[in-house]
């Protein structure tokens, strides 16, 4: 059975990545339609060995489309997701618009695939925030073993998390430094070249940022509402891949060696942890890869049953595009949807 798939936001970083991953993984698609705004009409985009021409979102009929992968921002999702779902097309949304909606499952397939059945109420499935996705992939197998009480995480998030404009700003500012030009700040609140910015998204009343709040509430929804989590999210001058320094306190005893053995076998995880210079993963090495990489696993002697580790993943892939395609694969592999059009 093959499915008609629409990709909304096809010209963006994540949209292009979705198209690439659909082709790489051989998703059973009878047709793939690239959709974007009117200004991108006719833009040519690669899909495997084919070239797709972008069509306009508000002119597309979703009544014969089976799956819509949306990555065009929260406002577009708020306007379109329920309208598309009402036409019988399952929406997998990469924005924050529906993540905390009571009738929308928030899914990371390696962690809570069984929760996907709740999609039928609105025909919408939410993809988590990029920093949350890699975190819960690493936490899930450890939680199953020793029950997590509390997590303290500091993120080191690449500029691609802010879209093409963020990547362009890092590039132009870096070049300006070397040629002694004036630096322009447009996308970020402060200079990003050769700098760190301890703010991602807007500030909230309690002094945390919305990105930090997302990590708290999404981890609870995906993994366990009893988990206490605090986050500090930092933008760093890296193009692709988010990194996280994670400290975890457990209910039950768990050693570093036990944790390593668990993570070696955990779905979606890849352990690279040698106690030598370079015996760990960096964001540069994780770019373009599917795995959530774990390094620097060690016991924390300052608390009972504590561990610390380093976690890195390509935010455009596992943090967004790959996770969305994996959700679509769960729908297909579990027989949760049927193609509207039968193959000839």
Q: Which position among 130, 233, 269, 311 bears the catalytic label? A: 130
77 is known to lie in a ligand binding site? no
Phi, psi of 67 (to 5 degrees): -135, 135
Q: Is 157 annotated as a binding residue?
A: yes
Q: Is 264 marked within a binding site? A: no
Phi, then psi, of 317 in degrees rounded to 5: -100, -85
Under a CB-based contact definition with an 8 Å cutoff, are residues 72 and 163 in contact?
no
> Is 99 marked as binding a ligand?
yes
Was 129 annotated as part of a binding site? no
40 is annotated as contributing to ligand binding:
yes
Give the active site residue among 233, 242, 269, 311.
242
Spacing of C-alpha 306 from chain mean position: 27
Q: Which residue has the tokens 């579990």?
A: 334
123 annotated as a binding-site residue = no
Task: Confirm or deny that 95 is annotated as ligand binding.
Answer: no
Which residue, 239, 213, 236, 15, is CA-closest to 132?
A: 213
242 as an active site residue: the answer is: yes
Respond yes or no: is residue 269 known to be catalytic: no
Q: Is 245 exposed, middle or buried (0-12, 13-18, 19+ CB in 10 A)?
A: middle
DSSP-assigned states of every residue in 234-253? EE-S-SS-EEEEEEEEESS-
Is 235 labeled as ligand-binding? yes
Q: Which residues contact 280 (CB under 8 A, 6 or more apart)?
A: 272, 273, 274, 295, 296, 310
83 annotated to a ligand binding site: no
Provide the annotated active-site residues: 130, 242
User: Binding site for substrate: which residues?
Assistant: 157, 235
User: Binding site for phosphate: which residues?
Assistant: 99
User: Binding site for NADP(+): which residues?
Assistant: 11-14, 39-40, 160-161, 315
């Amino acid at each position: 059975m093959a499915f008609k798939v629409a990709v909304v936001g096809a010209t963006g970083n994540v949209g292009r990545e979705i198209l690439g991953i659909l082709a790489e993984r051989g998703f059973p698609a009878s047709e793939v339609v690239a959709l974007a705004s009117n200004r991108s009409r006719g833009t040519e985009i690669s899909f495997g060995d084919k070239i797709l021409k972008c069509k306009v979102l508000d002119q597309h009929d979703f009544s014969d489309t089976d799956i819509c992968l949306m990555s065009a921002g929260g406002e577009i999702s708020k306007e379109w997701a329920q309208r598309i779902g009402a036409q019988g097309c399952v929406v997998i949304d990469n924005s924050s618009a529906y993540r905390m909606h009571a009738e929308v499952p928030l899914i990371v397939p390696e962690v809570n695939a069984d929760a996907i059945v709740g999609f039928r109420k609105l025909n919408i499935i939410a993809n988590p925030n990029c920093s949350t996705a890699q975190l819960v992939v690493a936490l899930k197998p450890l939680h199953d073993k020793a029950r997590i009480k509390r997590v303290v995480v500091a993120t080191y998030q690449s500029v691609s998390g802010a879209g093409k404009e963020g990547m362009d700003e890092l590039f132009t500012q870096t070049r300006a430094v070397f040629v002694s030009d004036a630096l322009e700040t447009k996308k970020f609140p402060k200079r990003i070249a050769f700098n760190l910015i301890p703010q991602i998204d807007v500030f909230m009343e309690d002094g945390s940022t919305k990105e930090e709040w997302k990590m708290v509430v999404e981890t609870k929804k995906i993994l366990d509402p009893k988990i206490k989590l605090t986050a500090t999210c930092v933008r760093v001058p890296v193009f692709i891949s988010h990194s996280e320094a994670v400290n975890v306190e457990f209910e039950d005893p768990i050693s570093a060696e036990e944790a390593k053995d668990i993570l070696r076998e955990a779905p979606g995880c890849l352990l690279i942890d040698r106690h030598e210079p370079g015996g760990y993963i960096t964001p540069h090495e994780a770019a373009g890869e599917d795995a959530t990489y774990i390094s620097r696993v060690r016991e924390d002697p300052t608390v009972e049953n504590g561990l610390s580790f380093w976690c890195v993943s390509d935010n455009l892939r596992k943090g967004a595009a790959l996770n969305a395609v994996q959700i679509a694969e769960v729908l297909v592999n579990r027989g949760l949807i049927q193609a509207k059009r039968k193959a000839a």
